[in-house]
Amino acid sequence: MQITRAQVKQEGLNTVYDLIASFGWMVGVSLFAAPNGIAPGGIWGISVLLNYLFRLPIGTMSLLFNVPLLILAYRVLGRTFVVRTLRTLLCYTILTDVIFANPSMIYRGDPLLAALYGGIFSGAGTALIFMHGSTSGGTDIVNRLIQRKYPHLSAGQISMVLNAVVMCLAAIVYRNINAALYGLIYSFSSSRVMDTILNGIDMGKCVLVVTRRPQEISRHIIEELHRSATILDGKGAYLQDEVSVLMCVVRKPQFYRLKKFVAQCDPGAFVVITDATQIIGRGFRPIDA
């Protein structure tokens, strides 16, 4: 099989992405979490606990724990998945055990700040890993393997159980319940940053308005909010009367203005609001972005 220049260039870019992502992860774990007695969830949390108990290197332990998972993943998820994940893990291990082994490169201060900023850096690193098609191993591999056998379980449910176990172990090892609580803050801030980066800044509200005055409301959306809307024909199930369902997507600051106008225009309207985590199309992010 001949390797093209484009493939070599792409693999080089992927390695650069892995290094940058691993740097973010390691800032979060090695500089903020581990020195302040905070164990992240998953295998990295277990590695941090082993480092605290036996001074074992965090990166190497994480890599060793991932080896049996990668073997299982090779049989189930394929070679490409394993190669990408292994490359990410190697970058992670080198940065952690070589560059961040210097004890002067740590933050020892307010554990709350350590949990928040550690989660921010880790979330940014994990998002970058996902964006170029790799994974950070550990819980990600376990999630995919379990979901292959039990597809009714969500990734969130599986991660929650695994992280809860690690948080309980952290409270026992550090002999302090605060270790578990700070770990939850770390995990929460990490997930929020990761979701924001992956879903983009084009988040808003999807609004469904069941109303008898769709024209007035849609005119307000177009002229005042500079958005558009879709008017659907509907029928009330209880009274069997004809109604209109107006659907529109607005940014969060515009939502409150829309809700206020609907209340003034049609007090009998029925409004359903959901979060739109990613909005693609005209007026927001281009569909080919």
Residue range 220-247, pLDDT digits in tens: 999 888 888 999 999 888 888 889 999 9
Q: What is the mean pLDDT of the chain?
A: 86
The DSSP secondary-structure symbol of 229 reads -
Could you tell me the two tokens for 164? Answer: 């809860």
Collapse the DSSP code of 152 into the 3-class scheme (helix H, G, I; strand E, B; otherwise coil) and give the result: coil
For residue 197, pLDDT over 90 is answered with no
Dihedral of the alpha carbons of 162, 116, 198, 42, in degrees to the nearest 10: -20
- CB of 23 closer than 8 Å to CB of 94: no
pLDDT tens readout for residues 146-191: 877 777 766 556 777 888 899 999 999 999 999 999 999 998 898 8
Which run of H or of E encompasses 244? strand 242-251
A 10 A CB-CB count for 80 gives 10
For residue 116, pLDDT over 60 is answered with yes
Domain boundaries, the chain: 5-199, 204-276
For residue 201, pLDDT over 70 is answered with no
- Residue 270: phi and psi, rounded to 5, are -115, 120
Q: Give the predicted TM-score (pTM) of the model.
A: 0.76
Pairing of strands 242-251, 270-276: unpaired
**What's the whole-number mean pLDDT along residues 96-116?**
85
For residue 2, pLDDT over 70 is answered with no
For residue 66, pLDDT over 80 is answered with yes
> Span 204-276: which CATH code?
3.30.70.120
Confidence grade of residue 48 (pLDDT, cut at 50, 70, 90): very high
pLDDT value of position 156: 56
